Amino acid sequence: MQLIPAIDLIDGRCVRLSQGDYAQQTTYDAAPGEMVAQYVAHGLRRIHIVDLDGAKASEPRNLHVLKSLRSSSEAEIEWGGGVKSEEALRSVLEAGATYVVVGSLAVKEPATFSRWLEKYGPQHIVLGADVRHGKVSINGWLDDTDLTIETLIERFTPYGLSQVICTDISRDGMLQGPATDLYLRLQTAYPSIDFTVSGGIGSIDHLNALYHAGLRRVIVGKAIYEGHISLKQLADLAALPPKS
């Protein structure tokens, strides 16, 4: 199981939100570069970074951080937030991202997202599906839609979609455990797609349960910052062989 540490950025600083609420924000002292260096040192090379300023502004706002991280580390950066035009997509890739997460645009302009999958490759383009009460939310979790995640995924499977991050907003930042049934249902229904569990991870027990369930990828954020899970625990779990 691939463990992916998360960093959320506002004004270039590491923060965490609770349930996607910008008013429920905690700012941490650790600099993004310091956090990435620690993750890479523990063998955790894929790092999930969300530009929360960009998500709100509908265009990337913290690319200087991305450029700095790519010049100083061997991390593979998975970057999301505000990628709502091809110019923005190219700017994120040129700044050094290996993977680009696209959410709102995929909902509002599915033809554009389909073209990006074909042009830039599904190995680089990740669908970000943020779910609240069973429906997809967009624009930095500020707006809800009537679209189910299954409907959204099926729009893009003909174009090679292979990576989906599904965040259960109601659990994000709450440390109460992930929506395991949701991810198992999706992974079973779409076996060719790698789903990333996102939201609710609060303990190593949560991660062990996901590993034994056979899920492939998990994002871990607040639990690291607040000391509920150590980097050594993550590294040890990440080194285990895949469950069949």
Write out the catalytic residue numbers. Answer: 8, 130
Distance CA 161, CA 214 (A): 20
3-state secondary structure 148-195: CHHHHHHHHHHHCCCEEEEEECCCCCCCCCCCHHHHHHHHHHCCCCEE
Strand-pair category, 125-132 with 163-168: parallel
How many angstroms separate the Cα of 180 from the Cα of each of 167, 211, 239?
11, 11, 22
Q: In this structure, are residues 116 and 109 in contact, taking their beta carbons and an 8 Å threshold?
A: no
